[in-house]
Structure formats: C-alpha cells, structure tokens
C-alpha cells in the first residue's frame, strides 16, 4: 500500500518516519509523496583519459570525482550529457515497515533532467541524506538552484517490518551519509569486502 498525504503526516507526527528539515509541509507534502530539495554539494566526474574505472579500486573511484559546493544564491549548471552526484537538503529516517522510492519531479523531467540512474530506493531502516544521480538528457544546459524541489519520495508499506533493516549489523555502506557519496562498491563481498 502506498501512503497518502494523511498517512505521511501521521507517520511524521508519530516520529517513526523522519524528514528534516521539512521546510514547508503545505508545499512539500503532495497527495502521495514528499518533495525533497536540492542540497549545495555535488560530486562531478572528471573528464579523463583513463582506460577504465575498476569498481573495486577505491583510489580510482575517488580520483575520478571532484567535490563542488555551490555558494548561497548561486546555481549549479548541469550541461547536456553530464552526470553528477547531488544530494537532498533533507535527511530521512525510514522505519522498518516502509520502503521509500526516489522519483524525479515531472517539471524537471520535462527539461530532460533525471534524478536517478538506478538508485531509486531507500531500504527500511535507512538514515541519512539521499544521493541523487543527476543527468541532463537534453540539448541545453539547465541551471539547478540549491533549495529547489528536485525529487520526491513515495512510501510503500511492507506486509511486515523488515527483520534485518538497512544498517542494523549489516555493514550498510551508506548509512548516515551526509552529502553526495561516491560509489563504495569496492566493499562488496565479490570484490573482497564484507558486504
């Protein structure tokens, strides 16, 4: 079951679902979702002549990205074909009986901006800001202003609470993240990690 606005408000008031800071609930809480705002931090992927990136090499991944922080009142220009990692301004806490889906806003989609390539899910138990995978699929640059509503979360109630939610002794790589986070796939078991 997908939560409607009244259900979302009830869960927020009860405190088991957390979205903070929720600057303007009247605007941000939609009929069946919550709009989240764009943060000020971005990880940009360098244009480089390396032959490839090995996902299991943390050094290669970290050398491939640079951090940009947009000053108050400034914009981040997302050029055609660009892919950057951004973040939500809000921090969320998802209870063990809900799953959250990260979606783009239609108004930005109509400008050819997408907010996730594949990571559109917040597991039960997840806490932290949400990393956005921002792409410009259009032919013109698009100015993104920190604080603008950029994505939305929908919430689906599980048939029962997760027995092992995200973060609870699982070695979850992105629990309590702040700001955009580069890939930590090198920590996966198939690459010699413990996850």
Tell me: is residue 175 an annotated ligand-binding position: no
- Mapped onto helix, strand or coil, the DSSP state of residue 184 is coil
Tell me: is residue 135 an annotated ligand-binding position: no
Tell me: is residue 123 an annotated ligand-binding position: yes
Q: How many CA atoms lie within 13 A of 165 on its CB side?
A: 19
Tokens 């000053």, residue located: 71
Task: Given the residues 133, 157, 163, 190, select the one marked as catalytic.
Answer: 133
Tell me: is residue 108 an annotated ligand-binding position: yes
Torsion of CA 61, 172, 94, 177, to 10 degrees: -40
What does residue 60 show for φ and ψ, rounded to 5 degrees?
Answer: -65, -40
Tell me: is residue 195 an annotated ligand-binding position: no
Tell me: is residue 152 an annotated ligand-binding position: yes
93 is catalytic: no
Tell me: is residue 131 an annotated ligand-binding position: yes
Tell me: is residue 126 an annotated ligand-binding position: no
Tell me: is residue 158 an annotated ligand-binding position: no
Degrees, nearest 5: CA angle 151-157-159:
150
Tell me: is residue 40 an annotated ligand-binding position: no
3-class secondary structure for 130-160?
Answer: EEEEEEECCCCCEEECCCCEEEEEEEEECCC
Q: How far is 37 from 109, CA to CA, in rounded Å?
A: 15
Tell me: is residue 109 an annotated ligand-binding position: yes
Q: How far is 160 from 107, CA to CA, in rounded Å?
A: 34
- Mapped onto helix, strand or coil, the DSSP state of residue 67 is strand
Q: Which residues are catalytic?
A: 133
Return binding residues for dCTP. 105-110, 123, 131-133, 152, 166, 173, 177
Return binding residues. 105-110, 123, 131-133, 152, 166, 173, 177
């Amino acid at each position: 079951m997908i939560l409607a606005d009244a259900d979302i408000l009830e869960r927020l008031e009860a405190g088991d679902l957390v979205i903070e800071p929720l600057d303007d609930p009247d605007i941000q809480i939609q009929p069946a979702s919550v709009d989240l705002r764009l943060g000020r931090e971005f990880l940009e992927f360098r244009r480089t002549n390396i032959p490839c990136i090995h996902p299991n090499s943390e050094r290669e991944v970290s050398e491939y990205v640079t951090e940009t922080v947009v000053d108050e009142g400034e914009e981040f220009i997302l050029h055609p074909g660009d892919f950057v990692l951004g973040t939500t301004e809000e921090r969320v806490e998802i209870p063990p009986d809900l799953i959250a889906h990260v979606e783009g806003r239609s108004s930005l989609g109509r400008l050819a901006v997408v907010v996730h390539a594949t990571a559109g899910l917040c597991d039960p138990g997840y806490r932290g800001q949400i990393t956005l995978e921002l792409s410009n699929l259009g032919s013109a640059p698009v100015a993104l202003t920190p604080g603008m509503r950029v994505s939305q979360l929908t919430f689906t109630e599980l048939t029962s609470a997760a027995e092992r939610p995200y973060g609870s002794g699982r070695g979850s790589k992105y629990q309590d993240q702040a700001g955009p986070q580069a890939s930590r796939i090198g920590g996966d078991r198939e690459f010699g990690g413990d996850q």
